Chains A and B, each alone.
Chain A
Amino acid sequence: MNFLPEPTLNSYLVLSAVLFAIGTAGVFLRRNLITILLSIEVMLNAVNLTFVAVDRYLGAVDGQIIVFFVMTVAAAEAATGLAIVIALFRHRETLNPDAYTTLKW
């Protein structure tokens, strides 16, 4: 077990950056409304990980409280987003965001 380096704050921050990048890639590249919402959740989780890691580094508790609020807001956003997806699906019968470009000039 001694050949693995101990995790440091930087390891957690790099992990969080990688997860955030994956989430962003998902938002830009996927053409399915639900998968886009899932990628947004991945990004929010990456940010939560940053908060908790820095919390541990600084010895405070505020980061965890902010994480609590981020989760609550993520829940509200997921509920509203999914309701919009359902409403949109009723009109066009497809989950491809390219079908909802009527407002584009």
Chain B
Amino acid sequence: MPAFLTPELIAHLTVIVVVFFGLQISAAVLVYMERKVAGFIQQRYGPYLVGPYGLLQPLADIVKLVFKEELKPKAADKILFYVAPVLSATAAFAAFSVVPFGADTDFFGLLSHPIHLAAADVNVGLLVIFAITSMGVYGIVLAGWSSNSKYSLLGGLRSSAQMISYEISYGLSFAAVIMLAGSLSLREIVDQQAGSWHLFGLAVAPRWYIFPQLFGFLIYLTAGVAETNRAPFDFPEAEQELVAGYHTEYSSMSFALFFLAEYVNMVTVSAVATDLFLGGWHGPFLPEWLGWIWFLVKVFAILFFYIWMRWTLPRYRYDQLMEFGWKWLLPAAVINLLVTSAVVIYMGG
């Protein structure tokens, strides 16, 4: 063993690999979940032919996408056409890298000191997530522009304008939680949510931030759904309106990258919501080192909610969407921040 391959380094690398493949697997699981849940909501079976209960359907989808022909419009910008999906997917994966998903562990004494269960643990973690989410806009803008087709351009412009509009409310809903927790690091925010509130000696509710910040949680989820371009805010990629928006001209693996980016973005938004509002990996009945199971349960609960919303609610028209973002959600986020700060000052910090 060379000197620099310490057990800590190997552990870190393993965590990074686990996060990377975990995200891809959760994207595949989401593909299946979406189609099955959509099926049940619409009173039909979802996929059931491929494998038992249709469980191999994502595999079939991926094989299909790999074998499709890779098309490129003749007048498309050669470099940017291929850079755009790569940029989208990279930003989606990078945003998850600072999200912790489990308690500090030393793998039952294999390591000399506990390591954090996150691909990278920075103490300005929330700012990093916000920064990388703003970089995700570029994949969409460049995809719309470089395809050189009017549906793509319109879809790309609308989608990116929507994303940058809802970014502000997204950030302001973080700010309220940061004020309650006093730290920008996601790990510390989750650590503050351990334990529960007691009333007459009985544990009544866990100390999750969703209870003091219910309004903030709703604002965060709404802004998050709009950021990931999912229903009911998915006008820019609606099939009926704009063919497929910014990814009209993409096929095969480039389209698969956009698809992957969208699902990984959903996972990131849900994971950050879990860490900020739902107590991360804290939960009853399980020991601390199995906290990641609770994390997964909570993340998939929010993802189920995402999918449920898509197949239940009608879509917002684009001008309604922008008006909602600027005239209703942004003032609501600001008022939430003001009230939170007033309460924090009144209660003595």
Chains A and B share a contact (CB less than 8 Å): no
Where the two chains meet, the residues of B that have a C-beta atom closer than 8 Å to any C-beta of A are none
